[in-house]
Structure 1
Amino acid sequence: MIATARFREIALGFEGASEVPHMDRAAFRTKRRIFATLPPDGATANLLLERDLQEALCEAKPEAFAPVPGGWGRMGYTTVNLRVVSEPDLLAALTEAHARASEPKKKPAAKRARRR
């Protein structure tokens, strides 16, 4: 089991990471965007992952990782069960989430085409 304090310690250990309130959750973000959220009960966390990584983790470790229901899950948002995930698996997933949130946002194709 990953305790809330340990999750915070790991998430805030990434370069440029900060904790901010987000609705009823604690959010962990880079300058660009949120990469993880933690609800008050500390039983789960949500991470922003690339879809292929999300699919691989959910298939390999369904007890620990699941897509967030609905459209958020289709965008790569993934729920992590902190009661069963191993620390190495959480660290790897958080590392990927932080890296994705650190990338510049991509402009939609329609906007790119209009600028030409």
Structure 2
Amino acid sequence: MVAIEDFRKIALSFPNATEEPHFEKTSFRIKKKIFATFDEKNNQAVLKLNEIDQSVFCSSSDKIFYPIPNKWGKQGWTIVELSRARPEMFEDALIRS
């Protein structure tokens, strides 16, 4: 399980990373571009991955990592079920985003 405090700590450790609201979610950005969001209500993260990384993470466990089921998912936006994710795997995915 990944706690929001750990998510926030890793995301904000990147150079120039900021935390900003994004509709009903929290977003993490570098140079105003979102690389991850957090949905506290559903305990989910959404990460922007490239096509290869998305395929690798989703194939490892489709109950933890899966593409958003619309055009955003085809662009690499990937949902992560934080209650099921191993911290090491999530950190690796977040670094790649």
Q: Same fold (TM over 0.5)?
A: yes
Identity rate, percent: 36
Tell me the distance in 1 between the aligned counterparts of 2:64 and 2:50: 17
What's the Cα RMSD here? 1.1
Partner of 2:21: 21
Contact map agreement 1:68 1:78 (CA 8 A) in 2: yes
Alpha-carbon shift at residue 80 of structure 1 (Å): 0.5
Greater strand proportion: 2
* Structure 1 runs (4+) greater than 2 angstroms displaced: none
Tell me the distance in 2 between the aligned counterparts of 1:42 and 1:17: 23
Q: Secondary structure at the match of 2:27?
A: strand
Question: TM-score, normalization: structure 2?
Answer: 0.94
Tell me the distance in 2 between the aligned counterparts of 1:63 and 1:48: 18
Partner of 1:104: none
Partner of 2:78: 78
Question: TM-score, normalization: structure 1?
Answer: 0.79
Partner of 2:33: 33
Alpha-carbon shift at residue 42 of structure 1 (Å): 5.6
Deviation string for 1:40-87 (max 9, x for gaps)? 326110000001110111111212100011000000000011001111
Tell me the distance in 2 between the aligned counterparts of 1:42 and 1:18: 22
Partner of 1:109: none
Could you say which structure has the larger radius of gyration? 1
Deviation string for 1:61-114 (max 9, x for gaps)? 2121000110000000000110011111111111110xxxxxxxxxxxxxxxxx
Greater helix proportion: 1
Gaps of 5+ in 2: none
